[in-house]
Amino acid sequence: MKIINRFKTTVSTFLVFVFFASSCTETVKKEENNQAPISNEVQQEVAVVTDEVVKEVADETTISEGKEIFDTKCTVCHKIEEKVIGPALKGVTTRRSDEWIIKMIVDPTAMLANDPDAKALLAEFNNVPMTPLGIDKESATKILAYFKSIE
Ligand code: HEC
């Protein structure tokens, strides 16, 4: 009984954490939509929180689902270790924020048109644009979990 109770407590602590973390991210997103300026510290904090959430939540199934999507849809242009048509993706999670990576996977066209880092990358890759593949946010999060697992 005691063990079960302890397990329950751990699970609820974790859920409270996830709830807290996601509501944090939500608040900032709303601010972003209103174009309210976000200080660097807040952005850093959000990056850390999102990072922890993805690491905590990513189980083996999520990671292998992410790998499968990557292997089917992305390997025409990307390899993990080497640059081909697109950049090598090993270590991308240390170069870019979680939000950035997810946005790039979900809507590369908008990112290449508006985001300064994506624009710079486009120039570096001879103006070959990454193709939008209709990946939704949930699948992009799985791919991100896979990238984190091979970081
Ligand atoms: C048609 C080729 C192509 C396909 C398919 C493609 N990409 Fe890309 N990707 C690129 C290119 C080229 C870039 C560099 C930016 C640019 O020129 O658009 C890039 C950039 C990226 C970046 C940023 C890398 C960095 O160093 O910051 C990520 C992340 C990424 N791609 C993930 C993916 C994922 C995940 C998929 C599959 C769902 C995918 N790409 C499919 C060509 C492609």
The set of protein residues with a Cβ atom below 6 angstroms from ligand 1 is 70, 73-74, 76-78, 85-87, 89, 92, 95-96, 101, 104-105, 112, 121-122, 125, 128-131, 133, 135, 143
Q: State how far the Cα of 121 lies from the Cα of 68, in Å rounded to an integer.
A: 25
Does the predicted TM-score (pTM) go above 0.85? Answer: no
Token pair 């929180």 is at which residue? Answer: 49
Q: What pLDDT score does 56 carry?
A: 57
**What's the pLDDT tens digit per position in 35-66?**
455 555 555 555 555 655 565 557 899 999 99
Domains located in the chain, CATH noted: 1-53 (no CATH), 58-151 (1.10.760.10)
**142, 69 contact by CB (below 8 A):** yes
